[in-house]
């Protein structure tokens, strides 16, 4: 979608415009996520459509179906469908569980400026209990996120370059990209400890920000000679 369409959609979701300096517009979500967009660009949104290389999170709600279809909705449904780490392992250590999801093939073309992965989390106790995950070139990269207690919140992570190559993303890399989340759990058993908690996720998706290839403008030469019919000569494309 064009960035102007994207801005309108975000405003409908409760985001606010906090700065405008043409051609850039900066938005802020109700959760405090800031995103600056170039209105000359396009954004393609990709949502999970199949299981990736890992399906390790212990619980899904409802129990039918697959993990990926609990986090693929366009509008987050929070407590209706989600995955959750609640393995209740009796340990003093935080235990992490991770899912990866495949994505549909992208349809965009042009220069990729960045990708941003979003996820919506819930945890019982505030802390760094969730990670946003990508897998590219066979390597997993994780970004730890801090969450408040007992409320669904959105978190995001942006990669301006592919972390494996250190260079701009290619569409082939986007086509092979997997996204996911890692969720923390800690359970000490009885007596209940204040730091016992579980973590859930209800939505995951990635935005690909890119500068599209624009149609080349044609250059025409108008010959205003004595003949009543002006001659127009096609000289080529403007690059």
* C-alpha–C-alpha distance, residues 68 and 72, integer Å: 6
Please report the pLDDT score of residue 217 as a whole number: 53
Please report the pLDDT score of residue 82 as a whole number: 98
Q: Backbone phi, then psi, for 233, in 5-degree steps?
A: -115, 130
Please report the pLDDT score of residue 28 as a whole number: 97
Comparing C-alpha atoms, which of 1, 46, 41 is closest to residue 23?
41
Please report the pLDDT score of residue 188 as a whole number: 64
Comparing C-alpha atoms, which of 169, 113, 121, 120 is closest to residue 141?
169
Residue 208 is classified by DSSP as E
Please report the pLDDT score of residue 216 as a whole number: 58
* CATH assignment, 44-212: 2.60.120
* C-alpha–C-alpha distance, residues 70 and 77, integer Å: 9
What are the structural domain ranges in the chain?
A: 1-40, 44-212
Identify the segments of the chain with pLDDT beneath 70. Answer: 88-91, 188-195, 215-239
């Amino acid at each position: 979608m064009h960035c102007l369409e994207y801005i309108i959609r975000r405003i409908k979701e409760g985001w606010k415009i906090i700065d405008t300096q043409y051609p850039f517009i900066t938005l802020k979500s109700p959760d405090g996520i800031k995103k600056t967009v170039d209105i000359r660009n396009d954004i393609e949104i990709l949502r999970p459509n199949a299981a990736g290389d890992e399906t390790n999170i212990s619980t899904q709600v409802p129990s039918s179906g697959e993990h990926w279809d609990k986090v693929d909705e366009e509008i987050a449904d929070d407590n209706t469908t989600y995955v959750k780490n609640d393995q209740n392992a009796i340990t003093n250590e935080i235990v992490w569980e991770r899912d990866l999801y495949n994505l549909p093939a992208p349809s965009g073309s042009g220069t990729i400026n960045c990708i941003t992965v979003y996820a919506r989390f819930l945890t019982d106790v505030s802390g760094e209990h969730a990670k946003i995950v990508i897998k590219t070139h066979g390597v997993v990269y994780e970004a730890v996120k801090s969450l408040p207690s007992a409320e669904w919140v959105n978190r995001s992570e942006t990669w301006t370059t592919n972390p494996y190559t250190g260079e701009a993303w290619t569409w082939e890399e986007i086509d092979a990209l997997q996204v996911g989340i890692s969720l923390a759990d800690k359970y000490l058993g009885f007596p209940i400890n204040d730091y016992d908690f579980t973590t859930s996720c209800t939505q995951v998706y990635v935005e690909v920000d890119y500068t599209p290839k624009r149609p080349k403008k044609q250059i025409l030469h108008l010959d205003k000679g004595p003949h009543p019919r002006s001659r127009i000569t096609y000289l080529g494309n403007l690059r």
